[in-house]
Chains A and B, each alone.
Chain A
Amino acid sequence: SQLAEENSWALSVHEGESVTVNCSYKTSITALQWYRQKSGKGPAQLILIRSNERENRNGRLRATLDTSSQSSSLSITATRCEDTAVYFCAMNNNAGAKLTFGGGTRLTVRP
């Protein structure tokens, strides 16, 4: 089983709606990052949240971290069609530069 995994394989919303992607992990972490990968491109970091933080925001994005339940969420408000992508959570563990990615959640935002 994966060390990090998103809880939904695919989500679909209408433009303007809000959506939340969840992630659970199984090892200790120093930080958790959310990445977005659009078709034909490499992943791009959206938010980084450290293990001593509970929440972090970046514009329309909000990430939470619950180390007791080993879970994280990424919420997107007022979604736009260009938010359509695959969203990954990725963990930094004590090994430093190594990132462990979840399986990804494909988000489709429809007009």
Chain B
Amino acid sequence: GALVYQYPRRTICKSGTSMRMECQAVGFQATSVAWYRQSPQKTFELIALSTVNSAIKYEQNFTQEKFPISHPNLSFSSMTVLNAYLEDRGLYLCGAREGGRDTQYFGPGTRLLVL
């Protein structure tokens, strides 16, 4: 079956520091990977959509300078949160999709706490 792993599951970082999170797809080819942030106050915020062999598209209010993403192959993606502050807290979810299919498979998320 299709599975998505994310690590770390939980991380705590000091304000102003950076942290990297990873997403791995198993059992299917992750042609596109969407990174979301889920906070208690809001529903899912799409950060960016990455498609292999295409440019990464960032949503409004999210930038490559703040959330650089790497999607080097069909099974792996990573995102870094640079200079994290309190407003960056939340559950970061990776949703991967194969080809033209509509189903996105999600990982369990990386919970970021910023002190």
Contacts and interface: CB of A to CB of B under 8 A. Distances in A.
B106 A104 contact: no
A23 to B, nearest CB: 12
Interface in A18-71: 30-31, 33, 35, 40-45, 48
B106 A103 contact: no
Interface of A: 2, 30-31, 33, 35, 40-45, 48, 88, 92, 97-104
Interface residues of B, number: 21
Contact of B51 (A33, A45, A97, A100): A97
Nearest to A98: B49
A104 to B, nearest CB: 6
B52 to A, nearest CB: 11
Nearest to B32: A97
A101 B45 CA distance: 8
B19 to A, nearest CB: 19
Contact of B43 (A30, A40, A41, A101): A101
